[in-house]
């Protein structure tokens, strides 16, 4: 089991998302916690570079996370519209 960190500012952004997307985000966090950072079963999952990953929650919504190899901590550093995604 992994520790998933979501900063308070990011939680505020998630609360502004549509309810259905918030539920998908909660499912993603649960999957990250239980199954780890490599989530091939999520739509448009991809590696953004060394230790950074992303997937689409819906067409317009994306989540990005960071995982340092050989650790049990995953940090979700972005959740929001794909137009503003940091990739």
Residues in the chain with pLDDT values less than 70: none
| 3-state helix, strand and coil shares in percent for the chain, rounded to the nearest 5 | 30, 35, 30
Helix 8-15 crosses helix 19-35 at what angle (to 10 degrees)? 140
Per the structure, the complete domain to which residue 79 belongs is given by: 3-84
Structural domain count, the chain: 1
Q: Give the pTM.
A: 0.91
pLDDT score of 86: 85
State the CATH number of the domain containing residue 26.
3.30.2310.20
H/E element holding 13? helix 8-15
């Amino acid at each position: 089991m992994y520790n998933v960190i979501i900063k308070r500012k990011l939680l505020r952004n998630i609360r502004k998302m549509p309810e259905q997307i918030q539920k998908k985000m909660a499912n993603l966090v649960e999957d990250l916690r239980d199954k780890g950072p490599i989530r091939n079963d999520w739509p448009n999952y991809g590696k953004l570079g060394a230790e950074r990953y992303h997937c689409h929650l819906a067409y317009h919504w994306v989540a990005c996370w960071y995982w340092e190899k050989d650790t049990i901590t995953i940090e979700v550093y972005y959740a929001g519209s794909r137009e503003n995604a940091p990739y």
